Chains A and B, each alone.
Chain A
């Protein structure tokens, strides 16, 4: 089956899920779609630019807290305003943070991003009166495209309008990122990843392009973070903790950072596998970790890499 057919089938399944799947499994699709948006951005930095960030929970947190502050403090309920504000704030914070971080690569870049992530985590934990500290802040139900939908039961709201709204955001974010990675700008990023010295010789400002990638990835992560808020109804510092950063890096590895859709697949498998293992085994972290480690060992290019490898082998056997 060609990639386009698989993609169309997957999109069709996601569109039809609220009609066919159980309410609970439809609800689980909401964090999947939010993480998928964030991972599209993270993979621009990781897969296309060659920089592994261990602090992107910082931007997830910024997005989620932006929504919480706007809805519960400022009285702004428009999801469109929340998404724009989250993206703008993500870019605003990413600009100086990225300017500092992209001067380094490899583990130094990773550690710096981790440090900035933990600074933000400490900020939301410590500034209790501003952020609610460990108790977090409520993220009140946002209006979608001007419809308040306040009277609708929360679950109906989530599996209906909010589900399709999140899907629309994911599709738009995917199309935009598809254009970005396929553009001359995307090719420049790949050159920076593969051979920064050559890129510099060709006149590509390596640090500048890394910074662009960092800021764009932060905008995506912040938008993803804003989408994470309404299903829980409360945002708290654990959204910005380093384990969140670790999870999204792992989702990318699991799905395959070399593939455009790999991280999205990784998010899907991660969320549903975790859900299943959590219910079956009390010490699920041990089992979950072992399963994920096995997948990465068996398929170093991630699940998408495994699928692509098999497709190549099939082509070769046919030839």
Chain B
């Protein structure tokens, strides 16, 4: 048989392809098929757009990393991104991802107002949905205790519970507390949870003022005047977006924190906008589930922070970690299910494999509880200016696990808090 130039090239390229197959790679049958499509729902407009952008960036970083390493069981990952907006439109986008784009899983969901609607739709469409930051809680109580396909975020009120515990530790002797939060379920639920926890540690404490400005308000002059007027020993604030930065600026301008302690349960979400010039030392500041400057942080976290800063010009907030965890746990579940069946797993097998799975995330080990709720650690601490940045960070860093700060599966929040045995040493 005569070997032509064309047939030689074909033979050579086949040989090269065979030679590049790693001997320790996944089984050949698992590599069948094109890229694995993964849907992402993220907020792109409005007050929560920076949160959505951070989640998407975290997911994209994960995709680059996974694809560089050969993908999931040899299949590269391809993201299909849709927008999270109001519940009606987001439900439609979710259906598009599953029915039209044929994704293998959907990642994302930030607003609980939206994810409450997504939960039943995910169950109906029989595709794993791993929520970044949205729960299926109505207020502080679960509405979907036994889901099959929906994997939900940490309970919304956990940061307030952790802040309540740490208030008792760091601000001993306070007698009166004022509170401010956004006028929607998150703001109200955080305040009620914080009060319940603090009462356990300091039964004599009095809550003298509660303010709930509309989400998106940017002038807090009258609120700050009312807080000053209350002469409270401490201000608890559950703002999580740009309003946290604004109230910090306006409060510091009138010297509020010279006479009052401050607790910002969730302002770590906008941490690098909390400049030293208007963010005093000595406040309790919550970073939710990832602290970018954790001195005990893993090599993975340090690499992520370095590359995120280089690519986006800022330091990553916690949403990146929620997003990374969802994506990484999906990959681990696919691999776990495939190890049992020897082939690319069905969606149902992946959903089963996700239950109880634990992976290394940016903030450390994270897992899914049996009722499909994220388990992780929360980072809070006292603000300091002793750092190389132009914004405040925290030291010492307190790490509190959801094992102690989140209600166990199947319990009611306030019954659980009331059952605590607290030593008031």
A and B associate: yes
From A84-92, A127-135, A193-201, give the one contacting chain B. Answer: A127-135
B371 at interface (Cβ–Cβ under 8 A)? no
- Measured in the bound complex, the distance between the Cα atoms of B82 and A312 in whole Å is 42
19 interchain pairs, CB-CB under 8 A: A22-B100, A24-B100, A133-B185, A135-B116, A136-B113, A138-B116, A154-B121, A154-B124, A228-B88, A231-B91, A232-B91, A232-B117, A233-B117, A233-B120, A233-B121, A236-B113, A238-B88, A279-B82, A284-B83
Q: Which positions 166-214 of chain B face chain A at CB distance < 8 Å?
A: 183-185, 188
Additional pairs, 5, CB under 8 Å, beyond known A135-B113, A236-B86: A25-B100, A136-B113, A138-B116, A278-B93, A279-B82
- Measured in the bound complex, the distance between the Cα atoms of B184 and A125 in whole Å is 8
Which of chain B's residues has its CB closest to A129's CB? Answer: B139
- Measured in the bound complex, the distance between the Cα atoms of B100 and A27 in whole Å is 11
- The residues of B that contact A24 with a CB separation of less than 8 Å are 95-96, 99-100
- Measured in the bound complex, the distance between the Cα atoms of B82 and A284 in whole Å is 11
Contact of A132 among B45, B81, B120, B138 (CB under 8 A): B138
Q: Report B129 CB to chain A, min CB distance, Å.
A: 14
Which of chain A's residues has its CB closest to B114's CB? Answer: A236
- The residues of B that contact A238 with a CB separation of less than 8 Å are 86-88
Counting chain B CB atoms within 10 Å of each CB, which of A126, A138, A236, A284 scores highest?
A236
Q: Mark A153-190, 1 if CB is under 8 A from B, else 0.
A: 11100000000000000000000000000000000000
Contact of A232 among B87, B125, B185 (CB under 8 A): B87
- The residues of B that contact A134 with a CB separation of less than 8 Å are 113, 184-185
- Measured in the bound complex, the distance between the Cα atoms of B121 and A22 in whole Å is 18
Q: Mark B47-85, 1 if CB is under 8 A from A, else 0.
A: 000000000000000000000000000000000011100
The 6 closest A-B pairs by CB, nearest first: A234-B117, A238-B86, A154-B124, A24-B99, A134-B184, A24-B100
B369 at interface (Cβ–Cβ under 8 A)? no
B385 at interface (Cβ–Cβ under 8 A)? no
Q: Mark A96-135, 1 if CB is under 8 A from B, else 0.
A: 0000000000000000000000000000011010001111
- The residues of A that contact B87 with a CB separation of less than 8 Å are 136, 232, 234, 236, 238
- The residues of A that contact B83 with a CB separation of less than 8 Å are 278, 282, 284
- Measured in the bound complex, the distance between the Cα atoms of B116 and A236 in whole Å is 10
Chain A interface bracket (under 10, 10 to 19, 20 to 34, 35 or more):
20 to 34
- Measured in the bound complex, the distance between the Cα atoms of B117 and A228 in whole Å is 13
- The residues of B that contact A266 with a CB separation of less than 8 Å are none
- The residues of A that contact B302 with a CB separation of less than 8 Å are none
Q: Report A57 CB to chain B, min CB distance, Å.
A: 12
Q: Report A120 CB to chain B, min CB distance, Å.
A: 16
Q: Report B318 CB to chain A, min CB distance, Å.
A: 22
Which of chain B's residues has its CB closest to A26's CB? Answer: B99
* Cβ A278 vs Cβ B99 within 8 A: no
B249 at interface (Cβ–Cβ under 8 A)? no
B231 at interface (Cβ–Cβ under 8 A)? no
Q: Mark A38-52, 1 if CB is under 8 A from B, else 0.
A: 000000000000000
Contact of A128 among B81, B86, B88, B188 (CB under 8 A): B188
Q: Report B309 CB to chain A, min CB distance, Å.
A: 23
B343 at interface (Cβ–Cβ under 8 A)? no
Contact of B95 among A27, A126, A135 (CB under 8 A): A27
* Cβ B96 vs Cβ A275 within 8 A: yes
- The residues of A that contact B117 with a CB separation of less than 8 Å are 136, 232-234, 236
Q: Which positions 25-57 of chain B face chain A at CB distance < 8 Å?
A: 44-45
- The residues of A that contact B93 with a CB separation of less than 8 Å are 278
Q: Mark B123-140, 1 if CB is under 8 A from A, else 0.
A: 011000000000000110
- Measured in the bound complex, the distance between the Cα atoms of B96 and A153 in whole Å is 17
- Measured in the bound complex, the distance between the Cα atoms of B96 and A234 in whole Å is 18
Beyond A234-B117, A282-B44, is A31–B99 a contact (Cβ under 8 Å)? no
- The residues of B that contact A284 with a CB separation of less than 8 Å are 83
A294 at interface (Cβ–Cβ under 8 A)? no
- The residues of A that contact B82 with a CB separation of less than 8 Å are 278-279
- The residues of B that contact A135 with a CB separation of less than 8 Å are 112-113, 116, 138-139, 185
B92 at interface (Cβ–Cβ under 8 A)? yes
- Measured in the bound complex, the distance between the Cα atoms of B118 and A154 in whole Å is 13
- The residues of B that contact A234 with a CB separation of less than 8 Å are 87, 116-117
* Cβ B124 vs Cβ A155 within 8 A: yes
- Measured in the bound complex, the distance between the Cα atoms of B192 and A235 in whole Å is 25
Which of chain A's residues has its CB closest to B125's CB? Answer: A155
A249 at interface (Cβ–Cβ under 8 A)? no
- The residues of B that contact A309 with a CB separation of less than 8 Å are none
A76 at interface (Cβ–Cβ under 8 A)? no
* Cβ A232 vs Cβ B88 within 8 A: yes
Beyond A24-B95, A27-B92, A236-B86, is A128–B185 a contact (Cβ under 8 Å)? yes
- The residues of B that contact A239 with a CB separation of less than 8 Å are 86, 88
- Measured in the bound complex, the distance between the Cα atoms of B120 and A94 in whole Å is 33
* Cβ A154 vs Cβ B120 within 8 A: yes
A285 at interface (Cβ–Cβ under 8 A)? yes
Beyond A135-B139, A234-B116, A284-B83, is A31–B92 a contact (Cβ under 8 Å)? yes
Counting chain B CB atoms within 10 Å of each CB, which of A138, A155, A234, A275 scores highest?
A234
Q: Report A74 CB to chain B, min CB distance, Å.
A: 18
A23 at interface (Cβ–Cβ under 8 A)? yes
Beyond A135-B138, A136-B117, A282-B44, is A233–B95 a contact (Cβ under 8 Å)? no
